[in-house]
Structure formats: C-alpha cells, structure tokens
Structure 1
Amino acid sequence: MSELLEKGAARTRWIRSRMPLLAAARREFAERQPFAGRRIGMSLHLEPKTAVLLEVLAAGGAEVVATGNHGSTQDDIVALLRSTGMTVFGARDDTIEQHMSNVASVIEAKPDILLDNGADLAAGVVASGHAESVVGGTEETTSGGIRLRDELAGQVPFPVIVINDSMLKAIGENRHGVGQSVVESVMRITNLMIPGRRFVVAGYGWCGRGIAQYLRAFGGKVAVAEVDELKAFEAALDGYRVGDLAQLAEWGEFFITATGAPNVIGPDVIARLQGGAILANAGHFPWEIDTAHLRAAASAVSQLDAAIERFDLPDGREITLLAEGRMVNLAGREPKGNSLEAMDLGFLLQALSLERVATAAAGLVPGAQPVPRDLERLIARRFLDALGADR
C-alpha cells in the first residue's frame, strides 16, 4: 500500500467511525440495493467525508464516476477511492481548465444520476446532449441552486433535488458546519487573534449567519454587508453593524465573502481597503473576490505561505489573500471542511435524496426542487437520536 493510500485510509477510517447516520444508511442500502445497475456521476469536494458517502452509494449497488471541485481535491482520498475500483478524476493542483476537463470526463461516462455541486454536471449534460439519458440528480449548494433556477431554467428535463433548500442543511451544515469550519480555518491559516478584530462578512444567508455567529462567539467585532433588505434587517436585529460593503471597507480588518455572487469584493472595494486588510472567501466559486484585478493592480506579489499571499499596491498598502480566493475551509492549508456531525447530516440528505431519484423519479417534477418533506422529517428524527437530544 502506498504512503498516500495509507494516509487516506487512516483518515477516512476515523471519520467513518464518527458518522453513525451514514453507517445506518450503508446497512440499509446494502439490503435494498436502490442503485443496482445505476451509474452515479459526481462533482463534489473529494475529502474523507465525501469518501464515506461514496462508500454508502457503492454499497447500494452504484457504479461511481467522480471528480472533485477546483482547489479542494485531496490526493490521498483520490488514491483511496481508486483503490476500491471507483473511477475518479482530479488532483489538488489541477488548474481550472483541468477541472473542467475532469467534469467533462464524468459526463462522457454518461451517468444515470448526478450528484452535483455548483451545477457543473447539470450544465454539462445539457450542453453535451446527454440530458435525456439522466434519470435525475441532487445539487448540494446555494450557487448550484441559483444556476439551476436562473441560467438553466427550463433546460433541465430531469428532477434535481436541491439539498441546500432543506432547513436541515441550512441550519446544521451551513450555519453551524460552515460557520465553525470557516472561522477555524481562518484561525489555523493565519494564527491571528479573533477577539477585538474587526470582521466584515459579505452575505447574510445561512453560511454568512454562521460565520458571523462564530466570529462573534470568539470575541470578534462583526459587521455584515448584505444587499437584500430583509436579510440586512435580520442582521441588524441580530446585533451586527450593517452597511454597504464599500463603506465598511474602510472599517474592516478582515473580510469574508459568503454570497455566491461574482466580484463582491471588486475594484471599488479594494480601493478603499485599509493597509493590512485580509481577504477570504467561503463561497463555492472562486469569483467572489476579484483576484484578477488584485493581481493586476499589485506592484509586487509575495507567497508568504501555501495559503497566504501578500499584494503590495503602488500606494503603499498591502492586502493579504487567503487560499487564492477559493473556499477557505476546503482549499486552505490542512483543510478540514465542515464538522463530521454536520456532514453526517448533510450527506444522509444526499444519500436518501439520491435514493428517491433512483427509485421514484417519475413522481418528481423536472428541474430544481426541494428535498421531499418526509425525508427531512425522517432525517431530523435520526439526527436527534444520534445526538442523544432527549438525554
């Protein structure tokens, strides 16, 4: 066994032992075989928790063809999955062009079911003409749900259950999973103190709520920039300073984006940042911070660490960027991602939603749709039991 494979096996062994919801699903799927004769195509972060999910799907009879997301693939997990016979594309150092080639390779395998993250697979099968052979799929993220409902509206002829529409995912995985892991990753990468620092969180969706909550819990001074009036209203009543991002640029020391939208921190905001400002992104796509403008504007760029870059601007300011503007909790140094409990919950949502697609797609409407309510209630009961909430 190679050193890389040994590392992946050891990491996954520990994580598997702490995901009781998926362990139960694995036993059930082994008996029911809901994916027998099906090929599941996946584009999702390739890390140990995802490996446990894929093991569950394979136990249910699925043939898996998979790739990761750009910048978050963990090579030891790729080695582990390949050792089980799965077809897996991708490496941590892949360029964005190579990543899209990996996505194309998954699509060329003509999967029956899609496990998508960011709607890359859904967009690809529509563009390639393979959509008619797809039974259905799931979509993990806010960003993917937006693409399905806007860019791909009316073009997807099969049902896609948007996991991110579930309140279970919103609360358990986004607010508490992402909130904890983003703040933890920022602390690990920078080794800076949180208490007393001025943080600006761009976006007050469920992930933004969680990031703001955990920053404040550690003693950070937190402001929220949100273009939606109702979310800004909520942030204000939750006790955060609320303002326009360009205005808050001069106040903040640390900026974290969590919106799903491109160029949230663009030239106008960058021009107002104080020297020493630190930028990080928690959104799915690496486009929320305009890194191209930042690189073009800099007189010098220094790689201070595997996940830390310093940009010296001609006016004397220096700006620090974490993880190249990619998801800081999965693309940064020593990536851990969301907590095991949060992903046990979120991936059970995935597994049971995929089973619903595989066995009852005819009863679902084409296009994006929420997780069936009966599955949400079942999973909520199982999570409470696993948590020992009545003890």
Structure 2
Amino acid sequence: MTPTRADTDLADRGADRVRWIRSRMPLLAAAREAFAADRPFAGHRIGMSLHLEPKTAVLLETLAAGGAELVATGNHGSTQDDVVAFLRGLGMTVFGARDDTMQQHHANVAAVLDAEPDILLDNGADLAAGAISRGGDALERLVGGTEETTSGGDRLRGELAGRVPFPVIVINDSLLKAIGENKHAVGQSVVESFMRLTNLMVPGRRFVVAGYGWCGRGVAHYLRQLGGKVAVVEVDELKAFEAALDGFRVGGTEALNGEFARWGEVFITATGHADILTPAFFEVVADGAVLANCGHFPWEIDVAALKAGASGVERLDDAIERVDLPDGRHVVLLADGRMMNLAGREPKGNSLEAMDLGFLLQSLSLERVARDPGSLRDGAQPVPDEIDREIARRMLAAMGADR
C-alpha cells in the first residue's frame, strides 16, 4: 500500500518526537553502538508486545542495530499512532492503533505469533500465553524471552506455572528497575498524569493508593511530597507495616470499602491484581470521587460493574468520564480504568532516564537470551545479578552521581 500524505505527516511527527527521546537516552545509545558492531541478534526474529510510544521506538532501534528482525504490537489503549507510523517507515512490521478494541488487540498479538518469532519481548505475558496455547512449533522455535511487568511475572508463576518450556527473564524482578523505574518513574508519571488529565490540585487533596508495592510506594510518596493527604490500602502485613512506618494511614480491604471510601477524593489502584474497586466500594464511595488505575491490566477497577449499575455515563474528555450512580452520587473515571500514565491526548509515561535504564535491562537481558540461553533455566527468573550491577554502574556514571 502506497503511504498517503496523512501517513507521511504522522510518521514525520513520530520521528520528531523520537529524535528528542533518543538524544536523552545515553545508555541505549552506547548499547546501540555496541550491538551494531557485535550483531548479537543476527538471525533472530523478536516478537514484541509492549507499549508503543517514543521511548519504546528507541529500544526497537537498538535491537534492530544488533541485527534483530522485529515484529511488534502495542498494549491495549496505549499505542501511539505517530510512533507506529515512524516504525513502519523504518521497515519494521508493526501492528496496532490507538483506538483498537480489545478484540483487535488480541488479533494483533496473534499476528505477532503468526510471524514465528524465536525470542519474545513480552508485557503482561500475552505472547507467552499465546505461544503456550498454540503449542507445537510455536513453542519449539522459542529460545527464550523477557517479561516487563509484575502482572506478567505473576501470570508466568501462576496460571502458566510449569508450562513455560523456555527461559523468561522477568525485568520487573530487578531491584534496579524497582527503584529507578517503578518507584520513582511510575510515582512521578502517575502524579503528573493525574494533574495533566484532570487539571486538579494535589496539595490538600485526599488520596487513597491501593497497593504498596514498588509502584504504589512511588505514587504515595510523590503525592505526599506535593502536599497530598495519603492513605494506603495493603493486605500484605509486611508492606502495610512499612507504609505505616513511612507515615501513611493504612488499612485493608475493609477500610477500602468503608472509611477510606468515604474519606478519599481520589483513588489510584497499583496492585497488579483484579477486582480492587468493586460494587462493594461503589456503593459507599464519596460523591465526586476520581477513580484511576496505573496497573498493567485494566481489571483493577470493575468498570463493567460500575457502568452496569450507573444511571448515566457522560464522556467529558478523551480520558475522563462522569458516571452517575442511582442514588444521586457520581464518580469520575479516568482512562476507562486503563493505565492512566499512558492515557490522554499527550501521554508521556515514565521519565526518559528511567526508561533508558529499564530498556537497557531489556536489551542486555535479550542479548543473554540470544547469545547464551543454556545459561538460563526454563520459566520465569530474575535478571542475572551481573547485568543488574553493570547497568547500575553505567547509570551512576551517566547521572554524574560522584559530582
């Protein structure tokens, strides 16, 4: 198909955005130069399912420099069309669009697997689950892969446990990623996204953060640093203990569906698990409360139940809906319950520096899979310690931390 003027304009816009991002990712720049010389991915086809935004484009350029053939799709609701157009202009096979339905997203994932990759770069274990479901050649050709998220790691160790006959390095198991990307980058980007999407004030506002893993920690701390009043919902006793010592109000599910529901003005889920905000919560939540999610899957807020029990739903902006409840209360839903920091007209996601670090973890982990899969065991496993420590040294040098 011959590109139209609109296609060219879209690709040019994507190129402009990627140019700035690329200029601020020195760790990937060094990896790209090394990969171009060593070609560790020559002869490999990498199938990817990961948010398609400008920082991801720089990761794909880096892998392509190392000889990889890439077949990619994004995650549901976060694909940026100008980035897709830019990557297609580089000759990459990329599926997906911003307004894809969930059904189309699943078709995109299937199309990536149809291309017969031998390495997977996964986000949420969609590709791994699809390959396992197919079995046969789809599994036999896989030498290994990586998984970006907590949610995907949970799937690999839960529903897919014992069924993954190839090594998968779970990037989110890295302490380096937990500190640099999850706590600080997600914390910053979620709070920035709340302000960008709603234009509401943080200081003095009452926030409830569900989950005190690394992402929840970051969200809670950044909100408080900007003057927000913050309560934390956590069912794990040790994490709840940590949140209490960090100075937050702390409660469990009973508090979420009781006193916290009536106290909070903004509720942000960051657990990675399904059914956190449910009908029991909707029945008592304060009038006018804002509901948002920053977990990978759009299942933490039971949006279907919320809308099924509504007396009316009105879209106020591209990422804001007012949901009227039968008793006269209403709530405001952000991004239809999807990942809020990749929503809206100008989504930014995590900071450039954090993703430079995170995507170097991806790059070097994929290099290990391509070069030496025999050094890895089958199934989910953490980033090798020597990779973590090497990247920490590079990041400290890039930050000028000794100055």
TM-score by length of 2: 0.96
CA distance in 1 between partners of 2:367 and 2:95 (Å): 24
CA distance in 2 between partners of 1:253 and 1:375 (Å): 42
1:120 and 2:132 are equivalent in the alignment: no
CA distance in 2 between partners of 1:246 and 1:203 (Å): 14
Identical columns (%): 74
Q: Which residue of 1 is the match for residue 229 of structure 2?
A: 221
1:294 and 2:302 are equivalent in the alignment: no
Question: Helix, strand or coil for the counterpart of 2:401?
Answer: coil
User: CA offsets, 1:84-131, max 9 Å, x none?
Assistant: 110000000000000000000001111010000000000000001111
CA distance in 1 between partners of 2:401 and 2:245 (Å): 29
Give the 5 Å matches for 1:128-167: 128-129=134-135, 130-167=138-175
CA distance in 2 between partners of 1:5 and 1:85 (Å): 12
CA distance in 2 between partners of 1:390 and 1:271 (Å): 53
Query: Structure 1 residue 199: deviation in Å?
Result: 0.1
Q: Which residue of 1 is the match for residue 16 of structure 2?
A: 10
Q: Which residue of 1 is the match for residue 103 of structure 2?
A: 97
Provide the alpha-carbon RMSD of the alignment.
Answer: 0.6
CA distance in 2 between partners of 1:145 and 1:251 (Å): 33
CA distance in 2 between partners of 1:24 and 1:368 (Å): 28
CA distance in 2 between partners of 1:279 and 1:179 (Å): 17
- 2:71 counterpart (65, 75, 80): 65
Query: Structure 1 residue 253: deviation in Å?
Result: 0.5
User: CA offsets, 1:209-234, max 9 Å, x none?
Assistant: 00001000110000000111111111
Give the 5 Å matches for 1:235-250: 235-244=243-252, 245-247=256-258, 248-250=260-262
Retained in 2: the 8 A contact 1:322–1:332? no
- 1:31 counterpart (28, 37, 45): 37
Give the 5 Å matches for 1:193-342: 193-244=201-252, 245-247=256-258, 248-342=260-354
User: CA offsets, 1:301-356, max 9 Å, x none?
Assistant: 00001110001111000100001100000123311000000000000000000000
* Residue segments in structure 1 that go unaligned for 5+ positions in a row: none
* Residue segments in structure 2 that go unaligned for 5+ positions in a row: none
Question: Helix, strand or coil for the counterpart of 2:262?
Answer: coil
CA distance in 1 between partners of 2:267 and 2:69 (Å): 42
Question: Helix, strand or coil for the counterpart of 1:335?
Answer: coil
Query: Structure 1 residue 37: deviation in Å?
Result: 0.4
Give the 5 Å matches for 1:366-381: 366-381=378-393
Query: Structure 1 residue 243: deviation in Å?
Result: 1.1
Paired residue type of 2:392: A
Paired residue type of 2:355: M
- 2:395 counterpart (380, 383, 386): 383
Q: Which residue of 1 is the match for residue 179 of structure 2?
A: 171
CA distance in 2 between partners of 1:272 and 1:201 (Å): 17
TM-score by length of 1: 0.99
CA distance in 2 between partners of 1:364 and 1:312 (Å): 52
Paired residue type of 1:80: F
Query: Structure 1 residue 189: deviation in Å?
Result: 0.5
Query: Structure 1 residue 71: deviation in Å?
Result: 0.1
Question: Helix, strand or coil for the counterpart of 1:54?
Answer: helix
Q: Which runs of 4+ in 1 moved over 2 A?
A: none
Query: Structure 1 residue 360: deviation in Å?
Result: 0.5
Query: Structure 1 residue 269: deviation in Å?
Result: 0.8
User: CA offsets, 1:354-378, max 9 Å, x none?
Assistant: 0000000011100000000000110
Paired residue type of 1:314: P
Query: Structure 1 residue 246: deviation in Å?
Result: 1.2
